[in-house]
A and B are shown apart, each in its own frame.
Chain A
Amino acid sequence: MTSPAFGGNAGMSSEYLEIRDLRVTFDGFTAVDGVDLTLLQGDLRFLIGPNGAGKTTLVDAVTGLVPATGSVTKSGVELLGMKTHRIARHGVGRTFQTASVFEDLSVLQNLDIAAGAGRSPWELLRRRKHVLPEIEEALETIGLTAHRDTPAGILAHGQKQWLEIGMLLVQDADVLLLDEPVAGMSGEEREETGWLLRRIGAERTVVVVEHDMDFMRAFATSVTVLARGRVIADGTVAEVQNDPQVQEVYLGSAATEQEA
């Protein structure tokens, strides 16, 4: 299996997400202030920055949750201005800081719903007769095969996040925007999530909004640092870590903490 790589691993044929001059303003407060970002298939990109840097707002804008100006194109299609569910159908999926699975439904039902946005009314009105192969595959990938009939509400915290990621996989999203997927996870769960992201990131564009620097260092192939709504650095983990501006606003404090 190929792995994610800096700058993407799919060459010229790759899918991409291009963000140009993205701005989000709430009542005069500019949360995202002219962000340019190019995301290529096969690049496991981490989006980091201090609290209030605009990371989640950026994801919200790309997925149509908040109005924005500028341009977001996915392989040439303009997404800005589209309704949220249309953007999702164009292959942009996201998760939330707090896992939002359908707690009353089983793991399998959750995945089946995620796989079904294109279903005809006729298909919807009938019962599920068998498990789709892509759902079996996703269950395997996220390691929940044994829990397929467990109600999602009683899964462990980490398993819920993996289920969310699995839902993006069967949804056939090729741009995955994950908002703090490892928040609240144990060290072991973090490790597993990291490898899961590596596995799925090879064929997709994965963006991870994260606070956990160790997690970022271990798994990112590229990093974008956001501060006060702007991109202040962009590059490999090493490049970003050595950037004086980044050290000043963000990593600096983390580095001092580590030395102390």
Chain B
Amino acid sequence: MSTTFVPRALTRPGPVRTAAGFAVAAVLLFGVAPAVLSDFRLGLLGKFLCFAIVAAGIGLAWGRGGMLTLGQGVFFGLGAYMMAMHLKISDAHLRGDTVPDFMQIAGIRELPAYWVPFASPLVTIAAILVVPPLIAVLLGLGVFKRRVKGAYFAILSQALAAAFAILLIGQQSTGGSNGLNRFRAFFGYDLSDPVNRRMLFFIVAAILLLVVAATRQLMRSRYGELLVAVRDQEERVRFLGYDPATIKVVAYAVAALFAGIAGAMFVPIVGIISPADVGIVPSIAFLIGVAIGGRTTLLGPVLGAIGVAWAQTALSESFPSAWTYAQGLLFIVVIGFFPAGLAGLAALRRRRDDDRGGAPAARTTASGSERDSEPESDPDPESDPEPEMEPAR
């Protein structure tokens, strides 16, 4: 994990280019996508955007903070299950029942006590926003204050994802291994209506843009510099008077927040949440897109997650069994040979172009006091919402 990026001295994207980037992304998501995609494909893209929201958080915690978050399925699952519980209760209320349909079949006549708060939409939304980061903070403090790091943290978080999935499978009151599904309405809006489904896509697209904007601010702030410092030299940061545990916990909690929100949006868009969506396999799948896109960059994880999810859907439609192998192979190749991901390859090519252009020294000369610390390059120039990676000379 010792990828070294030489910061670009000359290509500092100004506020105009950033605003333009967000505008392009908004046009693509709110204008082009609904115009060219069928309702079914738009729903799929909505699901991919959920994964992209998770990926943005992983990019921060793993790429910038060095925490290999192998258990994001837990936070994704918490957000998803809390949303699903609310939807099931409100569906039951619409029919005039007190308990959701699957509980009636299982012979449960009374709502379990832990379901009761989720009857309220406000409590549900608040819990989705608060519970995953809170758990991340508690877990993070317990782990990082004890200076547990590296593989141990990764194993711990993965074990947590496994335990969470096993717990859910055993719970009849969350639908066991079937999970929760067949949702009819989302906060009063009929989910079978294509207009409402399109609105869901717009909501998740807007959340993604907000998440990218928030991540961008975090990465460029002093906190973002500090996070990279902790990743690379944790002890040194300690001797400067900071507690690295606190710094890491913040990034971990933000990643948990994003994953929880993504899970909550996944439920109405996909229409099902089950233990298979939150365990070890999906937790690792979240990482693959991030690794392939380029984990230390802002847009790499987001576009990588969308790209991998798209490839998975496209390929598994035609070669159902081959995809799993292809995915695993891709992951190994990227981690082993291109740890900086596609964004790293783009940066490499740009650097070579620069050198060939006879200006190798330019990278080390001063250009101003607040330029980027990282190349925000992009694996896919065509769908690039933030066109700030062309070499500027």
A: residues with CB less than 8 A from B are 63, 83-86, 88-89, 93-94, 96, 100-106, 108-110, 112-114, 116-119, 123-131, 146, 148-151, 153-154, 167, 171
5 contacts between A and B (CB under 8 A): A84-B238, A114-B240, A117-B242, A125-B222, A130-B369
* Residues from chain B with Cβ under 8 Å of A171 in the complex: 240-241
CB-nearest residue of chain A relative to B7? A151
* Residues from chain B with Cβ under 8 Å of A125 in the complex: 217-218, 221-223
Report the Cα distance A43→B6, complex, angstroms: 40
Q: What's the minimum C-beta distance from A160 to chain B, rounded to whole angstroms?
A: 12
- Contact code string B119-151 (vs A, CB < 8 Å = 1, else 0): 000000000000000000000000000000000
Contact between chains at B369 and A113 (CB < 8 Å):
no
Check if B315 is an interface residue, CB within 8 A of chain A: no
- Contact code string B203-231 (vs A, CB < 8 Å = 1, else 0): 00000000000000110111101101100
Check if B239 is an interface residue, CB within 8 A of chain A: yes
Contact between chains at B223 and A109 (CB < 8 Å):
no
* Residues from chain B with Cβ under 8 Å of A117 in the complex: 240-242
> Given B218, B236, B242, B365, which contacts A102 in the complex, CB threshold below 8 Å?
B236
* Residues from chain A with Cβ under 8 Å of B223 in the complex: 124-125
* Residues from chain A with Cβ under 8 Å of B222 in the complex: 112-113, 116, 119, 123-128
Report the Cα distance A114→B392, complex, angstroms: 31
Contact between chains at B9 and A100 (CB < 8 Å):
no
Known interface pairs A125-B217, A127-B220, A149-B371. Does A104 touch B228 (Cβ–Cβ under 8 Å)? Answer: yes
Contact between chains at A150 and B241 (CB < 8 Å):
no
Contact between chains at A124 and B4 (CB < 8 Å):
no
* Residues from chain B with Cβ under 8 Å of A109 in the complex: 225, 373
B349-370 interface (Cβ within 8 A of A): 364-370
Size category, B interface: 35 or more
Q: What's the minimum C-beta distance from B374 to chain A, rounded to whole angstroms?
A: 8
> Given A63, A116, A154, which contacts B239 in the complex, CB threshold below 8 Å?
A63
Contact between chains at B370 and A167 (CB < 8 Å):
no
Report the Cα distance A83→B245, complex, angstroms: 12
The 4 closest A-B pairs by CB, nearest first: A117-B241, A88-B241, A149-B366, A124-B223
Known interface pairs A88-B238, A127-B220. Does A105 touch B229 (Cβ–Cβ under 8 Å)? Answer: yes
Contact between chains at B369 and A128 (CB < 8 Å):
yes
Check if B160 is an interface residue, CB within 8 A of chain A: no
| Interface SS majority for chain B | loop
Q: What's the minimum C-beta distance from A259 to chain B, rounded to whole angstroms?
A: 41
> Given A104, A116, A118, which contacts B7 in the complex, CB threshold below 8 Å?
A104
Q: What's the minimum C-beta distance from B165 to chain A, rounded to whole angstroms?
A: 34
Contact between chains at B239 and A88 (CB < 8 Å):
yes
Contact between chains at B233 and A113 (CB < 8 Å):
no
Report the Cα distance A117→B236, complex, angstroms: 12
Known interface pairs A113-B229, A124-B221. Does A150 touch B243 (Cβ–Cβ under 8 Å)? Answer: no
* Residues from chain A with Cβ under 8 Å of B187 in the complex: none
* Residues from chain B with Cβ under 8 Å of A101 in the complex: 233, 236
* Residues from chain B with Cβ under 8 Å of A100 in the complex: 233, 235-236
> Given B5, B6, B241, B365, which contacts A89 in the complex, CB threshold below 8 Å?
B241
Q: What's the minimum C-beta distance from A110 to chain B, rounded to whole angstroms?
A: 8
Report the Cα distance A151→B8, complex, angstroms: 10
Known interface pairs A106-B373, A123-B222, A124-B223. Does A149 touch B241 (Cβ–Cβ under 8 Å)? Answer: no
Supply 17 further A-B pairs (C-beta < 8 A) apart from A84-B239, A128-B225.
A63-B239, A89-B241, A93-B239, A102-B228, A102-B236, A105-B228, A105-B373, A109-B373, A112-B225, A113-B222, A116-B222, A117-B240, A124-B222, A125-B217, A128-B222, A149-B371, A154-B364
* Residues from chain A with Cβ under 8 Å of B225 in the complex: 105, 109, 112-113, 128
Contact between chains at B373 and A113 (CB < 8 Å):
no
CB-nearest residue of chain A relative to B225? A109
Q: What's the minimum C-beta distance from A104 to chain B, rounded to whole angstroms?
A: 6
* Residues from chain A with Cβ under 8 Å of B365 in the complex: 149
Report the Cα distance A94→B232, complex, angstroms: 18
* Residues from chain A with Cβ under 8 Å of B236 in the complex: 96, 100-102
* Residues from chain B with Cβ under 8 Å of A126 in the complex: 221-222
CB-nearest residue of chain B relative to A171? B240
Report the Cα distance A130→B222, complex, angstroms: 12
Between B4, B233, B235, B371, the greatest number of chain A beta carbons within 10 A of the residue's beta carbon is seen for: B233
* Residues from chain B with Cβ under 8 Å of A63 in the complex: 239
Known interface pairs A125-B221, A149-B371. Does A154 touch B229 (Cβ–Cβ under 8 Å)? Answer: no
Check if B237 is an interface residue, CB within 8 A of chain A: yes
Q: What's the minimum C-beta distance from B293 to chain A, rounded to whole angstroms?
A: 19
* Residues from chain A with Cβ under 8 Å of B238 in the complex: 84-85, 88
